A and B are shown apart, each in its own frame.
Chain A
């Protein structure tokens, strides 16, 4: 158990819908990272927040957004969902602001868009 929690574990929704994925980092970690893992793209970095502020952006679509709240939990919002958004979404946390710190991954949310 990494100490990072993610909810829900599974999510099935229809195209065009909007979903919110939630992540709670390990106690004491200030950074939260979001990743998407699909069969054809591998593990892709989406976005990084440190202590409530966005620190880095990766291949995140404009239909996707994220935020980190004062209690350090984070939410990833996916809207206007398409079939291609079906994937595993992972959250990771680390203690520092730089990505060159050990990142601990949560169990992931499996999103299926039908």
Chain B
């Protein structure tokens, strides 16, 4: 069925440490993946995306890794800051889903100062 990271875990990290948020996706045919950040009371905000022909993509302080063998996606945040505290969602796209994004349940990131 359509499922991406159904659980909603919480990750607590110390300010300045690196954070790694994981996501398991279910559709091996998915060809596009996105990470979104959602702060309380706001809409999801695009962080970074990656296509299935890549294994790694870097942005500003963020890196997304894609392991298609085990259908796993991760988001690494370097030098985590209090402003990074939010819920992080991964999403996948596949034509099998009918040209739509399927979102995971999300991971709560709490940054301790």
Name A residues whose Cβ lies closer than 8 Å to a Cβ of B: 2, 4, 33, 42-45, 48, 55-58, 90, 92, 98-100, 102-108
Contact = CB atoms under 8 A, between A and B. Distances in A.
Interface of B: 31-32, 34, 36, 42-46, 49, 51, 89, 93, 98-106
**A interface, over-half SS:** strand
A90 B99 contact: no
B45 A105 contact: yes
Contacts of B105: 42
Contacts of A44: 103
Contacts of A56: 98-100
A102 B49 contact: yes
A100 B93 contact: yes
B99 A103 contact: no
- The list of the 4 closest CB pairs from A to B, nearest first, reads A105-B43, A100-B32, A43-B103, A56-B99
Contacts of B104: 42
Contacts of B43: 2, 4, 90, 92, 105-108
